Amino acid sequence: MHFTNTRTRRLTAIAAAVVSTALVLTGCAGSDSGDTAEQELVIGSQMASFPSLDTGAITTAGYEGQRLIGNLIYEGLTKRDVSDPNAPAGVAPALAASWEIAENDLDYTIHLQEDVTFHDGTAWDADALLYNLTRYMDETDPNYDPVLVTYYSVLNFIESTEKVDDMTVVFHLNEPFAFFLADLYNVYFASPASLEEFGAEGQAKDPVGTGPFVFDSLEENQSISFVRNDDYWGDVAKLDRLTVELIPDASARTAALRSGRVDWIESAQPDDFASLEEAGFVTAGNAFDWEWSWQLMTQEAPLDDIRVRQAMNYAIDREAIASDLLHDTASPAYQMFAPASLYYDEADDIYGYDPELASELLAEAGYADGVDITVGYITAGSGSMQAKSMNEALQAQLAEVDIRVTLDPVDFSGMYGQLGEGDTGWNAANQAFSLEQPSSWNGFWFGCDGNFFSYCNEEADALYAQAIVTTDEEERGALLTEVGHLVTEDAAWLFVANDTAPRAMSADVEGYEQPKSWWIEFTNVSMAG
């Protein structure tokens, strides 16, 4: 048995029943009141708190903030194409209808979507585009916010912009950048009229974009609601309302689904899948390029020795974690790239379970008595999977070869705050991330110019630098595959698992098909009954 009604729908149904009964008692014939129930989808999110609702600031809640908030309200010039659930996400038009790239790979002519309006009725055109870009790039703009720019590094490649006409803009880049169009996906655009009247502070509390849903209400640290944008330029959503509730505890999310408080939960617990399916709920998941790993501090003892890092990778039983602990809601990760990645090469699956080899490598490195390390890990939030149980399983497995691990749990913002400050006291950090956006790799996970983990491979750096200016997709893919080969050989991470984004939902949720991506769309989703 399963329950699907939210509080709102229950009240609507009760009201409809009362009206219907009243009509019968008074002798009135026929009533359509039963057909007016609101189509609402309520999602239980693993986010611990809501971010600011101002464009780029939404990214401070990670990809889940973008997926469940940002992409509902706002749009970029492009978007992740998840129309084919059997293919990795590509690049599709959004507020840009089409584009041309000059032979010099520096000049991008962007043709804007016609007949698009912001939620407040302001027209989308070249002036609106340039207004937002000025806000992001001009420090003298009254609505400039350095926090927003932090998440829009793609704008650093723009040398200048040129308005050709009301619906055409040319971007002139300062150097070739193969991922320019791809990285415009989350450079969100807000209503210039709203910004003029209410400023950045107003946008953070009452956001006005062009997206398929309109911001409706926010209950701080509880829930956020959106209503359908009936004037949307694209496919109008079928749902009347979409509500996201904060339920960071995995068990509480499952309980909320079972009770009917929510219709859909993110990061469903693998242990609950069988019983949820028996109760009539639907579970979903799909392979995509999500990496759950420990990123190792490679310049500090003992992890400055590649043999220690390799020993860690041979000491863990990924298959047991994926099958026994996660019940196949994830797959073992033997290298930098997941099999669903465009850059995966099976030949790089080099780390099997071999604790004897792990012990030999430790002894060769001068650590016959083992090592002591500390690992910081994100407890909940975007893509953290079953963080506590997974880290404790790794802790137990590594102890078998005398790699003694102290775990330091932190929240999502705490992780990046401590990494940013530098002196964490950790030898490694556990976080999960998508490798779908290659431009984000350098400077974050690796790169000799500096990164959180001090990992440097000059050959990988050179190949990466070549890849980001290579416009031929096949050639670029080969270069990035080789980057992954080198990072894997270096054992720069403890490669653990590739997520499938497990979620569970009521059987009344219709029209949803899980893509091979972290990104999803809600315009085709509806509620039965």
Confidence grade of residue 298 (pLDDT, cut at 50, 70, 90)? very high
Mean pLDDT, residues 199-214 taken together: 96
Mean pLDDT, residues 454-460 taken together: 94
Give dist(CA 439, CA 467) in Å, integer: 10
CB atoms within 10 A of CB 1: 6
Per-residue confidence (pLDDT) for residue 17, from 0 to 100 = 35
Residue 190 has pLDDT above 90, yes or no: yes
Mean pLDDT, residues 157-164 taken together: 97
Please name which of 504, 481, 508, 480 lies closest in space to residue 179, comparing C-alpha atoms.
Answer: 480
Per-residue confidence (pLDDT) for residue 3, from 0 to 100 = 25
Instruction: Please indicate, yes or no, whether the overall pTM of this predicted structure exceeds 0.75.
Output: yes
SS3 322: helix
Please name which of 508, 505, 512, 526 lies closest in space to residue 240, comparing C-alpha atoms.
Answer: 526
Lowest-confidence segment of 273-277, 284-288, 424-428 by average pLDDT: 284-288
Per-residue confidence (pLDDT) for residue 36, from 0 to 100 = 62
Residue 151 has pLDDT above 70, yes or no: yes
Please name which of 283, 273, 246, 237 lies closest in space to residue 527, comparing C-alpha atoms.
Answer: 237
Please name which of 12, 528, 66 lies closest in space to residue 263, comparing C-alpha atoms.
Answer: 528
The answer to whether residues 235 and 524 touch, using CB atoms and an 8 Å cutoff, is yes
Give dist(CA 343, CA 336) in Å, integer: 9
Lowest-confidence segment of 164-178, 239-253, 359-373, 422-436 by average pLDDT: 422-436
Residue 34 has pLDDT above 50, yes or no: no
Q: What are phi and psi of 81, to 5 degrees?
A: -90, 105
219: left (phi over 0), alpha (psi -120 to 50) or beta: beta
pLDDT tens readout for residues 355-393: 999 999 999 999 999 999 999 999 876 677 889 999 999
Per-residue confidence (pLDDT) for residue 70, from 0 to 100 = 96
Give dist(CA 216, CA 38) in Å, integer: 15
Which residue is associated with the tokens 């209950």?
219
Mean pLDDT, residues 260-273 taken together: 93
Mean pLDDT, residues 16-21 taken together: 34
Query: Residue 274, Cα to own-chain centre: how many angstroms?
Result: 26
Give dist(CA 425, CA 62) in Å, integer: 24
Which residue is associated with the tokens 């039983």?
317
Half-sphere exposure of 358 (CA within 13 A, CB side): 24
Give dist(CA 134, CA 128) in Å, integer: 10
The answer to whether residues 504 and 264 touch, using CB atoms and an 8 Å cutoff, is yes
Query: Angle of helix 387-399 relative to helix 306-315, nearest 10 degrees?
Result: 110
Residues with Cβ within 8 Å of 15's Cβ and at least 6 positions away in sequence, in order, are: none
Give dist(CA 87, CA 195) in Å, integer: 38
Highest mean pLDDT out of 427-436, 484-493, 518-527: 484-493
Question: 91 burial class (0-12, 13-18, 19+ CB within 10 angstroms)?
Answer: middle
The answer to whether residues 5 and 284 touch, using CB atoms and an 8 Å cutoff, is no
The answer to whether residues 392 and 406 touch, using CB atoms and an 8 Å cutoff, is no
SS3 13: helix
Per-residue confidence (pLDDT) for residue 1, from 0 to 100 = 27
Confidence grade of residue 42 (pLDDT, cut at 50, 70, 90)? very high
Which residue is associated with the tokens 């030949």?
347
Give dist(CA 480, CA 465) in Å, integer: 10
Averaged pLDDT of the chain: 90
Eight-state DSSP code of residue 434: E
Please name which of 415, 411, 418 lies closest in space to residue 381, comparing C-alpha atoms.
Answer: 411
Share of the chain above pLDDT 70, in %: 92
Residue 27 has pLDDT above 50, yes or no: no
123 forms beta bridges with 117
Residue 8 has pLDDT above 50, yes or no: no
Mean pLDDT, residues 262-266 taken together: 96
DSSP string, 277-302: HHTT-EEE----SEEEEEEE-TTSTT
